[in-house]
Amino acid sequence: MLGDFNGILLRSERSSNKGIDSASVAMRDALDNSGMIDIPSSGSKFSFCNNKLAFDVVRSKFDRGMANSQRWDIFPRVSLRIIPANSSDYCPLVLNTNGEDGFLKRPFRFKPMWVEDPRSHLAVQHSWLSRQHHQPPVQFVQRQVITRTALWQWNHHQFGKVQTVIKYTREAISAILD
């Protein structure tokens, strides 16, 4: 679940001296009873500002992401970023299922040359047989993640940075021909 919960879970999620109201307590109890877990957030501390002046300003963390344990199994690195708002009283939220550093990583790309090397099949086979989960969809996603990581590591150890080697080889050839 992702959105405006219109309540806070902790006193530290509001900038004013007003404590936690009964609606927020009821929300916290309902989330606890349903097994929902707050997705960790980064960026702005608060997601709402009433845009008042000086002593009347109130900032709160009304917007959040919540997940149950099954979602945590599928997306163990999930993160939520609260982006500062320019013209609204609410800040936009960005949900990332790959974690904070997922914003910076290049996407995984399968390389056809791997199929020609029989050792790549061993990396796939070994990772596909690892880690069993009782729910088939979760098991499938986990196997994909493990296989992607295994292939990336295998490629790094077997071939290194092929494009860099090709670039330096071309430069060396050009230097010899000139």
Residue-by-residue pLDDT tens, the chain, 178 positions = 888 888 888 888 888 777 677 888 888 888 888 888 888 888 888 998 888 887 888 888 888 888 887 887 788 888 889 988 878 888 899 988 886 654 445 566 777 878 888 888 888 888 888 766 677 777 777 788 888 888 888 887 887 777 777 888 888 998 898 7
Whether 91 contacts 46, CB under 8 Å:
yes
Residue 104: predicted pLDDT = 46
Q: Is the pTM of this model over 0.75?
A: no
Distance, in Å, from the CA atom of 64 to the CA atom of 81, rounded to the nearest integer, reads 9
4, containing H or E segment: strand 2-4
The candidate with the shortest Cα–Cα distance to 124, out of 113, 132, 133, 115, is: 115
What's the pLDDT score for residue 152? 81
Question: pLDDT at position 173, please?
Answer: 92
| Number of residues assigned to the chain | 178
